[in-house]
């Protein structure tokens, strides 16, 4: 299924020799129209990889013919030569498709600070375009993996149209889009303005609420292409809900596969005075290393939750805070609550609920525990 679930899209994932192990490393997703409406959201990191700088310009035009992606190298912090490499990649795709480079989005993922092996990449572009087919969605999702252990795909069917998507991302996961790449396709008829509005709304409640390690990448990119092949102009609210479901599905898959994680943790803040407050508190908890270590140790150490909440400027009274871990209210009114021995932290799925007692707004951020495996994996990544 994946990005080729909607009609009018072809995709491929090929091995171009960028990755040393010979696994797939170049992916393409081609929109055969009739429409080329598109939008994208990018990392908020001010140090942006060359493909991000390029693709931001492309997307401003509101039209995208294809997205070319590579794993095995981020092409970040590579200066003007790196930007030229991205440009050359887009030109090669455009040549192969007899189209304009100005409508080709480029995305890269991998190690920062190294040039891409351009002969391999450009040959890979040719091979990917040649291989692109209606059944290529899964291979494309496979080709964008770095430390991901599984390919991440999702799709939803609406009345008369389909939305499909793929994503990658396992380390450096943080709000404002993790080190993640995602391509989402639909055969619904949408304008580029609709794409932009709907994509921003969906990502703000999904990908941007995933925070595995608080580290914001230089390459995050989420692209939505609407080809219109179904001939169906969707109800916008309904489409938005389905798009959010696809993004949510993919975001949860990212957390489930996060580097070295042994727990998938929902940090749920309730009783907040505002959504900003709820998110600020949820992120502070999700990023607290001591809390994350406690979760790894299956230790319901709610003091660390309160310690994290206290670092924020959200509206709350410390004496009215309540905390539940997997449904047991271990902290009531800022002090010891129910018996912490009742908390079962054995399952992989953990829910931590923080009740600010300051209003009626709720929000959830998804994170992981901090494990010795995470440290192992990330202390040996580039060498």
Q: Which residues bind its own copies (CB under 8 A)?
A: 44-48, 74, 76-79, 81-82, 111-115, 171-172, 213-218, 287-290, 293-294, 296-297, 299, 301-304, 306-312, 316, 318-319, 321, 331, 333-336, 370-372, 374-376, 378-383
Nearer to its own copies, 309 or 324 (CB): 309
Q: What DSSP state is assigned to residue 320?
A: G
* Residue 162 assigned ligand-binding role: no
Q: Give me the catalytic one of 4, 162, 179, 186.
A: 179
User: Is 98 exposed, middle or buried, given 0-12, 13-18 or 19+ CB atoms closer than 10 A?
Assistant: exposed
Please say which residue, 97 or 306, places its beta carbon nearer to its own copies. 306
C-beta of 280: minimal distance to its own copies in Å? 12
Strand order from edge to edge, sheet including 361-368: 335-336, 328-332, 322-325, 349-355, 264-272, 361-368
Q: Give CA–CA dist 354/303, Å, rounded.
A: 12
Q: Which is nearer to its own copies, 134 or 376 (CB)?
A: 376
Q: How far is the CB of 246 from its own copies (least distance, A)?
A: 27
86 is in an annotated binding site: no
Q: Is 203 a catalytic residue?
A: no
In b/e form, how buried is each residue of 194-204, taking b as 16+ CB within 10 angstroms?
A: bbbebbbebbb
Please check if 43 is assigned to a binding site.
Answer: no
Give the integer Cα–Cα distance in Å for 328 and 351.
Answer: 10
146 annotated to bind ligand: yes
Q: Nearest distance from residue 54's CB to its own copies, in Å?
A: 15
The answer to whether the CB of 104 falls within 8 A of the CB of 66 is: yes
To the nearest whole angstrom, how small is the minimum distance from the Cβ of residue 174 to its own copies?
A: 8
The response to whether 342 counts as a known ligand-binding position is no
Distance of CA 113 to the CA centre of its chain: 22
- 78 in a known ligand binding site: no
286: tokens are 């999700």
In the bound state with its own copies, the residue whose beta carbon lies nearer, of 155 and 374, is 374
* Whole-angstrom distance, CA of residue 286 vs CA of residue 208: 13
Question: Is the separation of the CB atoms in 328 and 241 below 8 Å?
Answer: no
Segment (H or E) for 155? strand 152-158
- Residue 191 or 262: the one with the smaller Cβ distance to its own copies is 262
Give min distance, CB of 173 to its own copies, in A. Answer: 10
Which of the 8 DSSP states describes residue 256? H
Point out the annotated binding site for substrate: 146, 168, 179, 259, 378, 383
The residues annotated as belonging to the active site are 179
């Amino acid at each position: 299924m994946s990005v080729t679930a909607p009609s009018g899209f072809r995709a491929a994932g090929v091995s171009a020799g960028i990755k040393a192990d010979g696994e797939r490393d170049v992916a393409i997703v081609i929109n055969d129209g009739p429409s080329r409406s598109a939008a994208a959201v990018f990392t908020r990191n001010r140090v942006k990889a060359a493909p991000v700088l390029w693709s931001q310009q492309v997307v401003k035009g509101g039209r995208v013919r294809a997205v070319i992606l590579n794993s095995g190298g981020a092409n970040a912090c590579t200066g003007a030569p790196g930007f030229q490499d991205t440009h050359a990649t887009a030109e090669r795709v455009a040549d192969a498709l007899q189209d304009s480079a100005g409508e080709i989005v480029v995305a890269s993922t991998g190690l920062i600070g190294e040039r891409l092996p351009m002969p391999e990449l450009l040959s890979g572009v040719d091979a990917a375009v040649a291989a692109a087919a209606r059944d290529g969605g899964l291979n494309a999702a496979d080709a964008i993996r770095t430390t991901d252990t599984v390919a991440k795909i999702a799709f939803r069917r609406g009345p008369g149209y389909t939305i499909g998507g793929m994503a990658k991302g396992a380390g450096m996961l943080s709000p404002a889009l993790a080190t993640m790449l995602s391509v989402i396709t639909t055969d619904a008829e949408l304008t580029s303005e609709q794409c932009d509005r709907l994509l921003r709304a969906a990502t703000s409640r999904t990908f941007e609420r995933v925070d595995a390690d608080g580290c914001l990448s230089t390459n995050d990119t989420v692209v939505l292409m609407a080809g219109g092949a179904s001939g169906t102009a969707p109800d916008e609210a309904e489409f938005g809900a389905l798009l959010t479901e696809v993004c949510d599905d993919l975001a949860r898959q990212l957390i489930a596969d996060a580097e070295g994680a042994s727990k998938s943790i929902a940090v749920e803040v309730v009783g907040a005075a505002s959504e900003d407050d709820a998110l600020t508190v949820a992120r502070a908890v999700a990023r607290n290393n001591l809390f994350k270590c406690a979760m790894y140790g299956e230790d319901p150490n709610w003091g660390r939750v309160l310690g994290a909440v206290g670092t924020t400027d959200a509206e709350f009274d410390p004496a009215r805070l309540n905390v539940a871990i997997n449904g047991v209210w271990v902290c009531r009114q800022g002090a010891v609550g129910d018996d912490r021995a009742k908390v079962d932290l054995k399952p992989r799925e953990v829910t931590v609920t923080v009740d600010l007692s300051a209003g009626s707004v709720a929000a959830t951020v998804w994170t992981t525990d901090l494990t010795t495996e995470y440290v192992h994996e990330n202390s040996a990544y580039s060498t």
